[in-house]
Amino acid sequence: MSVTDASLSFLVVDDSKVSRTMVIGLLRNRLPGAVFHEAGDGESAVAQFERSPAAVVVMDFNMPGINGVEAAQRIQALSADVRIVLLTANAQGAVQAKAEAAGIRFMKKPIKAELADQIVALAQVPA
């Protein structure tokens, strides 16, 4: 798969617009042809995924309404192939354990170049 593959799509979910902007900015630098969708909470993320399934979902944990792991599990129920990254400042062991149990990759905020590289690598692994 080419790194400029326009079929590569991401859904970035965070109640902070700044955080979404930073994540999308770093990913877009690496994948200029990729498509990016955004959502500001878990419920909206599930609805957005139903409308436009994404290859990779980057998900915050603490958001209004359902938390990021709950939203991720609902998205996983819609697609067996989706890869989900939990990107959160809440790095307590209990949260990491919940992510791990759900088969979700855990990353600690703030987003930085190395984490963006890891997300891109995850996106490029064939489903």
Partner 1 sequence: MSDVGLTLDDDMRDALAETFNMALGEASAQFAELVNEEIELSVPSVELVHRRELVAHIDGPDSGLERTPLCRIAQDFRSLQSDIDTHAVLLFPERGSLEIVRRMLGDDVSDERLNELEQDALGEIGNIIINSCMNSLAHIFDREMTGSLPDVRTGLACDLFAPDDGDDGAVLLARIGMRMATRRISGHVIFMMDMNSLQVSIQQIRQFFGIASAEA
Least CB distance to partner 1 at residue 32 (A): 17
Q: Are 98 and 89 in contact (CB under 8 A)?
A: no
Residue carrying the six token digits 């400042």: 89
Query: What three-state secondary structure class fits 95?
Result: helix
C-beta of 19 vs 76, nearer to partner 1: 19
Q: CA 58 to CA 39: how far, in whole Å?
A: 10
Q: Point out which residues pair with 83 in neighbouring strands.
A: 56
Q: How far is the CB of 2 from partner 1 (least distance, A)?
A: 28
Contact positions vs partner 1 (CB under 8 A)? 15-19, 21-22, 62-64, 88-94, 108-110, 112
Minimum distance from residue 92 beta carbon to partner 1 (Å):
5
- Residue (5 or 15) nearer to partner 1, CB: 15
